Structure 1
């Protein structure tokens, strides 16, 4: 029986390597819920065991049930019926039913709504596991952030109306944000929210590119202040799918065919406001999208893992020139680089999820601060620190993991050669599914704009300084010296950018963010190489196993030494001062095509 949790040594290692007990204590608020809810853990060991049991169950469901249906889901797609309803592909409908039965549709919701109250780290692992089985299913399973947003910002009656059904898997939702003329620029949203004479809210207008827009519960960003442009004129609303919500079309897409992408017309649809007026974009949607970006990073991990496994098997079994193609240096390099990129991405994603969990825990604690003034002050400082780190790491994770996913699926096709281009193997589907990950929930370019602010403000340096103070095995001390050299180069690049203004920072933001990510990942891999976890892992040589820390040390060495020249080259490019993008665009880009 396939199990997409048990067969992944790296996920299992990371969950042992990380301090899940402390995270459990944070999200369970010192396990105070155990007295009220039978499902709530009583201590750290109970919580961690529960995490593993749920991931094990989800891993079996993903391997045995969801993955075998993915190909037929891709070919069948969704159907817009004549009455305006949408029918999922058969495999999607069946998988959603199984996920509801497994009680995993309320991963991070509180116990009082029937949720699991799990930390984001575990939810990220779950999304990766499901995405490896079927990336398009994740687009529905991974929309649990809608319920989280309702829980975080809505009034209690709204929470009671919707959240129990979300946890039970009775309803799915949609983030209804973008419009024909408002994609990345959500400040331009025009869909109108208005009140009638009885002080009831209604929605009128069109939304486009809405993932699972046929869901039962819709979170809608709308302009509630007709006389005010920009983000401060927007509020967030919730409405039910009903007779005034019309699905006008389903988009015909390159990939993720099992996920319905809808154009919706709201014809004076009754709704309720979430939280306060004018905070829809600035507060609520930004929170929603940050969670969604971590979800896309996890989805990217699952797609990359699935594609790599096909390529790894093919490289070992396909013979050319009298030997398996994995004996050829060029193929070996590709296989190793894919594997290393995946593990680096997973390290970054799980660290980001951990920081977000700590940020949420500190925010809750600040609401009820301790009596001791020094402790209260430290709590506030920690809250600010984790907020800054989460604000930088979230776009970094989304950017790195989605770009990595596209490279890995591309290279997986290359390893398979002509066979990879055919539908006989799933890598062409993985490549099509991967392509959207660098686009939705904010393009890679927008993630860089967000992340580079953290790099240039000192957040990245402060985080790495904290990493550098941790304890490491002597085996990686020389690597830490290389990372320290890289940090000095990054400081040089940041100083040059600051001297040349914001436009220059945006122009070379990608280079700076790439350097920062390579350094952060380097520290994370060195920490993994210094782990206390006793775990043996198999090598490709039959019957030969080595300690995971030994394997991670080799991974860290290759990653850091291979990236060191790249870091130097990127900083040299930043400091070269080339502004031809601004000064010679018309000449270099040429005229707009007229045909």
Structure 2
């Protein structure tokens, strides 16, 4: 019987070794929740058993049912007829299976009928689902909508919506993008206005809305007349109704199983979620960060599927009287794919651990009786999460694209055909480094933390881990890179133009190099840590670090060259 959790020793290793004890204890209020809720764990061991059981359940659903249905779902896709989105019956069956298993309110509290699991475990679930059918994750993974209402909604909103999300009665969408404003959310125009009784209404257009046919919508809208920036935007909750029209669905390259909708709001009744003016500044940024973690997991799931398909094909395909995985050209590609996959997963779950700590300490600071130490931790984890989340999305999604690309190459001509799933993995992977912020925007989000050295404390902890001699030698290489990274950051921060002003153009041009250099060091330390725990993982850590040294040096030389020619003459190149 196929189980997409139990057959993945990397995920099992992650669950076993990810430090969730502090997080779980805070989520379960020192395990006093067990006094009120039968399903709540009595201690950390009990909680860990709950996590593992749930992961095995979703692993079996994914391996036995969702994957078997995925080709048909991809071939037929979501349909649009007479103004209605029609999901494939197999997609609906997938959702019914997940609902019946009680997996639609994974992070919601026990009081709302949820499992009260940490983000880290939920992320493992989204990875597992994505491996089976990436498009299904775009519906299952929108549980972040409920989490946003939980974080920022009032009690009436939470009591009404959250139990219905947990039961699977409600699904959600986040309605942010507009026809002329994709990444530039501060320019959103969809209008929110109140009548004389204080009832809010929404008027305008949204585009590229994943699962825009949902029952519940979180909508970013301009509530303050006369404003043109992010401070005039608020977050609203509305429900599907005749005034909310799906105008069409997009004809997409991949993720065919989920509808991507263009929406028209014609005086749609809505409720304010949270406070006015904080829609973009606080609420959407929180929602987007959760979505970026989910897309990172989607990317890792697709990469896992692509790698396994390629490995299986290479072991079975014979040329010149031997299987092609015996040829250096192929086994080097497979090895690289596995290293990139493992690296992306290591950063993903380090990121989710930090996100969990940020969330639990933020809740304590805002709703509990925090100490000064608690406040300091909340501030620290907030900054660290702000750097790691975009770093993670950049690495995971770019890795998924390259792994899916190599997967097709290993299949040769058959990979270009629809006979195998290799081409679907490539099509599905391609969106991951675009939506919820392109890789270029992830660099913009991460570079501030790199320049301010927000991850140095965590890297110091990782550098201090006791390692066997062979891995310690690799750590020394990373220490050398870290010293060079500090030099590069200093060089860019101090670089000036001819008139003596800060060279912001050079800073922006070199941002991707600096973020990727930081990623090489941070992920290398994570893999060395894991190699010390399990010797079988050491070869992956070694390969990653040795490759990272070469890649780092190229970027380091580029950053410290001070070469500004591209800034001066890029139009000459582009316009030739």
* TM-score class normalised by the smaller sequence: over 0.9
CA contact (8 A) 1:111 1:117 kept: yes
Q: Secondary structure at the match of 2:125?
A: helix
Does the 8 Å CA contact 1:23/1:358 hold for their aligned counterparts?
yes
Unaligned runs of 5+ in 1: 532-548
User: Which secondary structure does the structure 2 equivalent of 1:72 belong to?
Assistant: helix
1:40 corresponding residue in structure 2:
40
Look up the match of 2:490. 495
* Match in the other structure for 1:560: 545
For residue 22 of structure 1, report the CA deviation from its aligned partner: 2.9
CA contact (8 A) 1:6 1:12 kept: yes
How far apart, in 1, do the equivalents of 2:329 and 2:81 lie? 50
Q: Quote the Cα distance in structure 2 between the aligned partners of 1:454 and 1:160.
A: 37
Show the counterpart of 1:585: 570
2:536 to 537, 545, 551: 551
Give the Cα separation in 2 of the matches to 1:299 and 1:556: 23
- SS of residue in 1 equivalent to 2:545: helix
Contact 1:88 1:258 in 2 (8 A): yes
Q: What SS does the corresponding residue of 2:383 show, helix, strand or coil? A: helix
**Residue pairs, 1:100-119, within 5 angstroms:** 100-119=99-118
Counterpart Cα distance in 2 of 1:181 and 1:580: 32
Measured in 2, the distance between the counterparts of 1:460 and 1:504 equals 23
For the Cα contact (< 8 Å) 1:460–1:516, is it kept in 2? no
Match of 2:498 in 1: none
Which shifted more, 462-471 or 341-350?
462-471
**1:483 aligned onto 2:478:** yes
1:417 is matched with: 412
Shift of 1:554: 1.3
Task: Give the aligned partner of residue 124 of structure 1.
Answer: 123
CA drift at 1:368: 5.8
SS of the counterpart of 2:432? Answer: helix
Question: What is the alpha-carbon distance in structure 1 between the residues aligned to residue 335 and residue 292 of structure 2?
Answer: 27
Instruction: Report the Cα distance in structure 1 between the residues aligned to 2:368 and 2:34, rounded to whole angstroms.
Output: 22
Secondary structure of the equivalent of 2:435? coil
Greater shift in the superposed pair: 565-574 or 183-192: 565-574
- Provide the residue aligned with 2:500 in structure 1: none
Equivalent residue number for residue 534 of structure 1: none
- Asked if structure 1 preserves the Cα contact closer than 8 Å seen for 2:505 and 2:567, the reply is no
What is the aligned partner in structure 1 of residue 31 from structure 2?
Answer: 31
Distance (Å, rounded) in 2 between the aligned partners of 1:379 and 1:470: 25
Given candidates 556, 560, 565, the residue that maps to 1:571 is: 556
Structure 1 residue 158: Cα displacement = 0.9
Give the TM-score normalised by the residue count of structure 2: 0.97
Partners of 2:174 and 2:418 lie apart in 1 by: 32
CA distance in 2, matches of 1:147, 1:473: 45
Aligned 1:488-527 pairs, distance under 5 A: 488-500=483-495, 501-527=503-529
Structure 1 residue matching 2:381: 3-state secondary structure: helix
Partner of 2:532: 530
**What is the alpha-carbon distance in structure 2 between the residues aligned to residue 399 and residue 432 of structure 1?**
18
Deviation per residue, 1:541-567 (Å, 9 max, x gap): xxxxxxxx1221111111111211221
SS across alignment from 2:2? coil
| Residues 216, 370 of structure 1: alpha-carbon distance in 2 compared, 3 angstrom cutoff | closer
Question: Which residue of structure 2 lines up, in the alignment, with residue 464 of structure 1?
Answer: 459
Match of 1:81 in 2: 81
Could you give the per-residue CA deviations for residues 95-142 of structure 1, whole angstroms, max 9, x where no partner exists? Answer: 011111111011101111111110111011000000000000000000
Give the aligned partner of residue 449 of structure 2. 454
Give the superposition deviation at 1:174. Answer: 0.4
- Work out the CA distance in 1 between the residues paired with 2:56 and 2:368: 37
Matched, 1:325 2:310: no
Tell me the secondary structure at the aligned position of residue 332 of structure 2.
helix
Distance of 2:453 and 2:156 partners within structure 1 = 42
> What TM-score comes out, normalization by structure 1 length?
0.94
| Structure 1 segment 304-323 matched on structure 2, within 5 A | 304-323=303-322
Which whole-Å CA distance do the structure 2 matches of 1:361 and 1:264 have between them?
35
The residue aligned with 2:201 is: 202
String of CA shifts for 1:443-473, please: whole Å, max 9, x gaps. 0000001111111111133321221123333
1:230-259 C-alpha deviation (Å, 9 max, x unpaired): 100100000010110100000000000001
> How many Å separate the matches in 1 of 2:176 and 2:338?
35
Work out whether residues 489 and 568 of structure 1, in 8 Å CA contact, stay in contact via their aligned partners in 2.
no
CA distance in 2, matches of 1:370, 1:223: 35
RMSD: 1.1
Match of 1:51 in 2: 51
Q: Say if 1:22 and 1:44, in contact at 8 Å, map to a contact too.
A: no
Residues 365 and 375 of structure 2 are in contact (CA less than 8 Å); yes or no, is this contact kept in structure 1? yes
1:147 and 2:146 aligned? yes
Match of 1:536 in 2: none
